[in-house]
Chain A
C-alpha cells in the first residue's frame, strides 16, 4: 500500500460519522440511479418492442411527386397535389410488388408486407362500431410483426385457411361481444360482407386492439374496391435502431415516403426520454448531497489535520502527496459507495421486477419491467465519481497549498 493511501485510511476514521453520511448518499445515489434507469428504460424498451411488433420498423407510404420536374413543367406553383412539409405526395403504393422486391434488396431488411387499409363499420348482433381493416398476406405479415405471438384465442391457421376469416383485437371483440367462430358484417361505402372471427389477438396497445381488424388481402381488396396496389408496405429490420438511415435511403431509392418507427412514435419516445432524464436528475440529488458532504467532511479533516500536514511536509511529503492523501479519502469512500450502490441497485432492480403491476394501454404487462444494462451501472458510478471528485478537489488542493511555516506558527488560514 502506498504511504499516501495508508495515511488516507487513517485520516478517514477521524470523521467517521461525516464520512458515513457521504458514503450513504453515494450508495443511495448510485443505487437509485441504477434502479430508475433500469425501470424507465425497461418500459421504454418494452414499448419499442410492442410497437415494432405491431407496425414494424419502417412504413413505406405515399409516392413522392417529383416536385422540381412537375413545377418546371407547370411553369408555376400548382396546388393539385397533397403537400406535406414542402413535399408533394400521391397516395398509396401502386407498384406494391415491385417496390417490395426493391425493399428486400436492403441488407438490414428482414421482411416486407404489403397492406391494404380502409375504414369500415363493423356490425355484430349487438351493435355497430367504427374500425379499420388491414388486408394482409399472413405469411408476409408475420415476418414484419408479432401477430403470431399476439393471438390469445383461436388459431392463426384458421385465418390462413379461410378467406372469410378475420383477426379481431381483444378490446373490439369484447365491445361487440364476439368470440371465435361468431360472424359479423363489415360495411364500407355501401358495400357489405359477412365474415367470421378466426382468432382474437391482443397487442396491449389499446388504440390498436380496439380498432384494427385483419383480413386476407383479397377480401380487403374487394370490400374496399381496390383491385391493385397497397396503402403501405410494412418493413421489419434486423437492426431496428438503424431505421432512420434505412428509411432515408429507401425514400431516396424508391421515391416513396418511408417513415422510421422513431419518427412515427416520437411523441411517446419523447415522453420516455423526458421521464428518464427527469428521474436521472432527481436521483442525482443524492449524488450531489454526497459530493457536498464529502466537500464538507474533507474541509473539516483538513482543518483538524493542519498540524499533521505540517509534520508530513517537514518529513519530505510534497504538496502532491497531500493532495493525494485527501483525494484518496474521497476515492476510498467512492469505491465502497460505488460497490455497495451497485449491489443495492441490482437488488432493488430485481425486487422491482417482481412487483405485480398490470399495465394495459400502450403495452401490456402484468409486472414492473426492468432492463439489465451494464451501461446504467457505469453511468451511475461515473456520475458519482465525477461529482464527488470535483467536490473533493477543492479541500484537497487547499490542504496542499498550506505552508508548513504558517501552520507551525498558527497563522495558516
Chain B
C-alpha cells in the first residue's frame, strides 16, 4: 500500500453542520438528529459512542452520503455534497468514502476476494492484476489471507465483518465510516481490526470515524464523541 504524503494529515476530510433528520411518517415521525455538527481530519480516528437508539447509525448514513439530511450541510474534502444530485454523491461515495455497515456486510454469492475487488472494479483505476494483488493484501491485513476464495456464506459473522472492513479500504478512501466494525469480533480480532484502522489513519492519512459500544476501543481513538438523543454532548 502506498504511503500518502504526511502533509495531508490534519486536513479537513469531513465536516457537517446543523444536521437534522426525521424518520418515519405521520404519527410515528421521530426527530432523530437534532442539529448535529462534526468534523473529521485526515490521519485521525474518531469514536462516536452513545446509547442504543441515540442516532449514531443515522448520522453515519448521512456522513456516508447514503441518506439525505432534512436540514444541514455535509462537506467531503472541502466540497459541499449534501445538495448535490444522486450521481455526484454516488461518485463521491465510490472515490472518497469507505463504509462498513452495522449489519449485512457482504454480497454472499461472491467470494471474499470478489467482495473486496467490487469497489475497485467500479472505480476502474487499477489493472486486473493489481486489483487482485491489492485485495489479497487487504484480506491478509485483516487476518483472512487463507480464506480469500471462501464465499460470503462460508464465513463466520466476524470474518464477514473483517472482509467488509477490507472492502471499505479497497479504494483508499479519504474517509472511512464504520458502524461497529468490531461488534462481532473477539478481543483478539477486535485488536487486529482496530490496529489496522489506526495504522492506516497514520500511514495513509485517512480520517476514520467509528461507531462503537466498546469502551476500550473508544478510549484508544484520538477523539471520542459521546452522543445522546440526537445530539453530541
Q: Is A10 interfacial (CB-CB < 8 Å)?
A: yes
Task: Indicate if the CB atoms of A308 and B66 lie closer than 8 Å.
Answer: no
Q: For B66, give its contact among A10, A13, A321, A408 (CB under 8 Å).
A: A408
Q: Residue A225 at the B interface, CB < 8 A?
A: no
- A14 beta carbon closer than 8 Å to chain B: yes
Q: Which residue on A lies nearest to B66, using beta carbons? A: A404
Judge whether B66 and A316 touch: CB under 8 Å.
no
- Nearest opposing residue in chain A for B60, CB measure: A408
A 44-79 binary contact with B (CB < 8 Å = 1; else 0): 000000000000000000000000000000000000
Q: If the complex has contacts A307-B104, A308-B107, are A317 and B66 also in contact, measured as CB distance less than 8 A?
A: no
* Interface residue B109 (Cβ < 8 Å from any Cβ of A): yes
Instruction: Please name the residue on chain A nearest to B101 by beta carbon.
Output: A408
Nearest chain A CB to B129's CB is how many angstroms away? 15
Give the chain B neighbours of A319 by CB distance below 8 A.
86-87, 90
Among listed B8-16, B114-122, B217-225, interface-contacting one: B114-122
Among B67, B87, B123, the residue within 8 A (CB) of A404 is B67
> Is B232 interfacial (CB-CB < 8 Å)?
no
Contact at A14–B122, with CB atoms within 8 Å? no
Give the size category of A's interface with B.
20 to 34
Residues in B neighbouring A360, C-beta threshold 8 A: none
Which residues of B sit under 8 angstroms from A312, Cβ to Cβ? 107, 118
Q: Which of B57, B58, B118 has the most CB of A within 10 A?
A: B118
- Tell me what chain A mostly uses at the interface: helix, strand, loop, or mixed: helix
Chain B residue nearest in CB terms to A404 = B66
Cα distance, A307 to B104, chains bound together (Å): 7
CB of A3 within 8 Å of the partner chain: yes
A317 and B90 contact, CB distance less than 8 A: yes
| Cβ-based interface call for A314 (8 A) | yes
Q: Which of A7, A13, A405, A409 has the most CB of B within 10 A?
A: A405
Minimum CB–CB distance for B81 against chain A, Å: 13
Q: A407 → chain B, closest Cβ, in Å?
A: 9
Give the distance in Å from the alpha carbon of A307 to the alpha carbon of B86 in the complex: 18
Interface pair A311/B101, CB less than 8 Å apart: yes
Whether A316 touches B67, Cβ cut-off 8 Å, given contacts A11-B109, A308-B107, A311-B101, is no
Q: Are A409 and B23 in contact (CB under 8 A)?
A: yes
Given A315-B93, A316-B91, A316-B93, A10-B110 contact (CB < 8 Å) = yes
| Partner among A3, A11, A310 whose Cβ is within 8 Å of the Cβ of B122 | A3
Indicate whether A153 reaches chain B with its CB closer than 8 angstroms: no
Q: Check if A276 is an interface residue, CB within 8 A of chain B.
A: no
Question: CB < 8 Å: which of B67, B86, B119 contacts A315?
Answer: B119
Across the interface, which residues of A come within 8 angstroms of B167, CB to CB?
315
Chain A residues 348-366 with CB under 8 Å of chain B are none
Instruction: Say whether B194 faces chain A, with CB atoms less than 8 Å apart.
Output: no
How distant is the Cα of A409 from the Cα of B107 in the complex, in angstroms?
Answer: 18
Please, how many angstroms separate the alpha-carbon atoms of A3 and B94 in the complex? 14
Residues in chain B near residue A308, CB distance under 8 A: 107
A110 within 8 A of B: no
Contact B90 A313 (CB under 8 A): yes
Q: A317-B90, A408-B61 are known; give 15 further A-B pairs, CB within 8 A.
A: A3-B121, A3-B122, A7-B107, A307-B104, A310-B66, A311-B101, A315-B93, A315-B99, A315-B122, A316-B90, A316-B93, A316-B171, A321-B122, A404-B67, A408-B66
Q: List 11 A-B contacts (CB under 8 A).
A: A6-B121, A14-B109, A308-B107, A310-B66, A316-B94, A316-B95, A318-B86, A404-B61, A405-B68, A408-B66, A411-B23
